[in-house]
């Protein structure tokens, strides 16, 4: 089934072969991979390298481990695309100073512009109704003091816009960039802007009117304001003197 590998990083070659067989259709969702011992023999490589490869494939959401008599590693069936790995990588790069907050914001503005333009054309009343329900829900939460910019639910608004594009890749990318900014904001413990829900209602109204350009401009203005606030507050946290151990 697989070819022996001759490389110092054998687990990478294993991952490559599994991916190639997925692409060619030789492996399909639900297929069970051979047992660890059998894989080691087929690849002519150590079992520790096989375990490392399986962990890597599992982390990439390509395979899943099942326990029990009929357990083992199976090719995962299609599910929602995960953006966690990308989001964490970019967050780490921001923390290391390799990527600026402004770069993330610029990418987010451009991507949300694309999402809004597609959603304004493809979005159904059901899509817009879901966005409206989310706005009303968070408006009430903030009104009663139960809202927070630190919770994941506060970025659902952007995901619902992305879902209205009916493009799964755009949903993944919007999720990732929204989560990056939310996590950075959580570090500075922000207070919600009083006009937050007003901006969201304006964007939705323009999308419902199929005014994609107007909605994209309103969104871009809001995201730039968030960026300015975040850059200012984030710099304060980084420059604050460290407490003695």
pLDDT per position as a tens digit, 169-210: 999 999 999 999 988 888 876 666 678 899 999 999 999 999
Can you give the pLDDT at residue 237?
Answer: 64
Domain 84-239 matching CATH 1.20.120.530: the answer reads yes
Closest CA relative to residue 221, chosen from 143, 120, 112: 112
Can you give the pLDDT at residue 164?
Answer: 97
pLDDT digits (tens, 9 = 90+) for 25-55: 899 999 999 999 999 888 888 899 899 999 8
Whether residue 5 is predicted with pLDDT greater than 70 in this model: the reply is no
Whether residue 59 is predicted with pLDDT greater than 80 in this model: the reply is no
Can you give the pLDDT at residue 245?
Answer: 43
Closest CA relative to residue 180, chosen from 92, 80, 113, 59: 92
Domain 10-75 matching CATH 3.20.20.150: the answer reads no
pLDDT tier at 244, thresholds 50, 70, 90: very low
d(CA 192, CA 198): 12
Q: Where are the domains of the chain?
A: 10-75, 84-239
Question: Matching CATH topology for 10-75 and 84-239?
Answer: no
**What 3-state DSSP class applies to 30?**
coil
């Amino acid at each position: 089934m697989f070819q022996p590998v001759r490389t110092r990083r054998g687990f990478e070659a294993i991952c490559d072969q599994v991916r190639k067989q997925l692409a060619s259709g030789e492996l399909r969702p639900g297929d069970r991979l051979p047992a660890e011992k059998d894989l080691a023999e087929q690849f002519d490589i150590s079992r520790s390298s096989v375990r490392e490869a399986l962990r890597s494939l599992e982390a990439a959401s390509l395979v899943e481990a099942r326990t029990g008599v009929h357990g083992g590693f199976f090719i995962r069936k299609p599910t929602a695309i995960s953006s966690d790995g990308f989001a964490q990588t970019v967050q780490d790069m921001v923390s290391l100073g390799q990527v600026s907050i402004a770069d993330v914001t610029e990418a987010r503005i451009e991507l949300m512009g694309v999402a809004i333009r597609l959603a304004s054309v493809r979005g159904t009343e059901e899509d817009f109704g879901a966005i409206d329900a989310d706005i009303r829900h968070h408006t009430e939460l903030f009104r009663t003091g139960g809202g927070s910019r630190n919770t994941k639910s506060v970025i659902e608004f952007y995901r619902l816009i992305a879902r209205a594009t009916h493009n799964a890749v755009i949903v993944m990318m919007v999720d990732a960039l929204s989560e990056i900014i939310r996590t950075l904001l959580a570090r500075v413990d922000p207070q919600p802007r009083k006009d937050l829900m007003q901006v969201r209602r304006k964007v939705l109204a323009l999308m419902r009117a199929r005014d994609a350009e107007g909605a994209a401009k309103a969104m871009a203005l809001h995201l730039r304001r968030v960026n300015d606030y975040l850059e200012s507050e984030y710099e304060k946290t980084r420059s604050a003197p460290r407490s003695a151990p």
